[in-house]
Amino acid sequence: MTTYRCREALLAIALLSIGLTLAAPAARAQGCLGPDNLSGPCCSLASAALPAFPAVSFQGDAPCWAGCGPCANFVDIRYDIPVMVRCGVYDVPLFVFAPGTGSLLTGTARLDYTRTWEETNDDGQTLQVYRFLVKVDFTASGTPVCPIASTTEPTHFFHGFLDYAFNCATGNWEPATALYHSCDIFIHNPTTSSVPGAHHPILSVGIVGPSTPANLFSNTIEVPFSGPVVGGAMRKQTPPSASLCSTEEPIAAGGATLGYIGSACACPLSFAPPNIYSAQPFSGASTCGSTFNSLFPGPPLLWIHTISQSLGRWTGSGPGTPYPGNKKIWVNEGFYAYTEGCTSLLHVDMSYGILTAEGFTVVPDAARPWQSTQNTIDIASNFSKTSGIVPPFNGFLNDTKHLIYANF
């Protein structure tokens, strides 16, 4: 079953700049499964207290944007049981099926844990949410329809997020995910990509779930939020021990800002609505001396700071609505200058992340008052270098070195 509406896409970008800082405890819910144990002194290590995460399967949508004509297709999504490869990092087989078409995407997804918090759903039940950023190199088979961008690509790099929400009343896990593969000027950029070329010049594709009668997903266009950060954290994701994570570096209230330059369409370039791509400067610093700054490198790098694309929102509300409630979602990507406070090393990062807003009410956390807001940003590096900064920067799954997560 396919529906059609209208959308487009724009944007341009750039590279080299510098800046951010982190330090101290950040995400720690006081929920039924407890804190994640990642707070501590600057430049120290901790053993993460994370539960065993289950396999999850659910129905979803595969929205795509071809020029100004969006479409959507039902898909089935399955994450198998995640396997921890080192502290806070998991690998998990991931499958996306398009029923009735024979289309299949399959790959081993990399999950990078960022944080946990509590929410209260519309039934008054407490949920403890664990957020992961996702990167995956998919291989494709079957009929090349959304969400499969092109059968000419050897792999399809998607990025996004997976939330595991544990319902403390029912004892059940309620997942939510969104993944994204951009149009050629970004993901297949001839200068930066590991898979350059004209694979799908005006097509970008998403995978979002769940989308069921209890909480349908709508690919409406939403302007991304912006403003000063009320708090958050940064964390190095390359600890020296497989069993230990680097502790969080807190971002002080007002210590970071997510800006907004404007929105447009990128594939092809147009300033006429719908404008699904937005340019957003993002910079900040931690109490441990780490800093980050989004970059505007200039042609041929088409990124203008952080590029956020609106995927839409879940529309459910009222009793019986499963996680994530009526949450909005954007995916983003950009180049960053990231300085580690503990080593004083300056890195150039190519990073991917998400913005989420609204949804269920967040439960205040006395240890982290900033975690009580509904607007969030979570970012993971995929390419990170202190020297020898040469392409390819994007188009493939790589290890994460730096995490940034904050609330507005």
In this structure, what token pair is assigned to residue 98? 């398009």
The reported pLDDT for the residue numbered 273 is 73
Nearest CA to 129 out of 64, 53, 188, 73 is that of 53
Q: Report pLDDT digits (tens) over 97-131.
A: 988 777 789 999 999 999 999 999 999 999 999 99
In this structure, what token pair is assigned to residue 232? 């958050």
Query: How many structural domains does the chain have?
Result: 1
Domain hosting 229: range is 2-407
The reported pLDDT for the residue numbered 122 is 97
Give this prediction's pTM: 0.91
Binned at pLDDT 50, 70 and 90, residue 144 comes out as low
Q: Report pLDDT digits (tens) over 11-46.
A: 233 332 322 222 333 333 457 999 999 999 999 999
The reported pLDDT for the residue numbered 179 is 97
Q: In this model, does residue 96 exceed pLDDT 90? A: yes
In this structure, what token pair is assigned to residue 315? 């529309």
Element of type H or E holding 310? strand 306-314
Residue 318 has, within 13 A of its CA and on its CB side, a CA count of 6
What is the mean predicted confidence (pLDDT) over 293-310? Answer: 92
| Residue found by looking up tokens 């804190």 in the block | 35
Q: Report pLDDT digits (tens) over 177-202.
A: 999 999 999 999 999 999 998 888 88
DSSP letters for 150-209: -TTSS-EEEEEEEEEEEETTT--EEEEEEEEE--HHHHT-TTTBSS-S-S-TTEEEEEEE
